[in-house]
Structure 1
């Protein structure tokens, strides 16, 4: 199971870097090699660099690939989307449990 998760995260990271590259190419005209080097350096800077890559990748997917905002969001911010979905489901389950306990 860990191998499957690793492969999925690797594929996601490759697509995110491709979106980052597309964004830099679209906005600044950078060659893909230069964009990948900039993305790699940014990712080594920790969470702030990762956030920068995600934001540029988000707009790169929207502008260069003509994706909808929700598709680009799923690609570049999957943890945030998963957090919102889990929170909504947990809140719904808690509300349902509270309402069912009230009737008893």
Structure 2
């Protein structure tokens, strides 16, 4: 079981992209990816919304998320969110193990 959190960062103009760029260039993203229990930490830009950046953030379990929230990186993230005046929409998903056979026929590997 993994917990995946989709965070949509929205700002004015290119603020969300600047935030993601600074997170990456500062080494914060690499540090988060090295945290125990992190499975994925990637930013994406929706094609139809220039003011939003999507973060897909996936963890092994709730304990790993709690450790991340208690880490020094959270302070950095919160300061950068304020710097760029970003607002967030959050979706949280708990994954099942594997892909059902009924869905596999739709997947080309």
Q: Which has the higher strand share?
A: 2
The answer to whether TM tops 0.5 is no
TM-score, length basis structure 2: 0.28
| Higher RCO, 1 vs 2 (CA within 8 Å, ≥6 residues apart) | 2
| Bigger Rg, structure 1 or 2 | 1
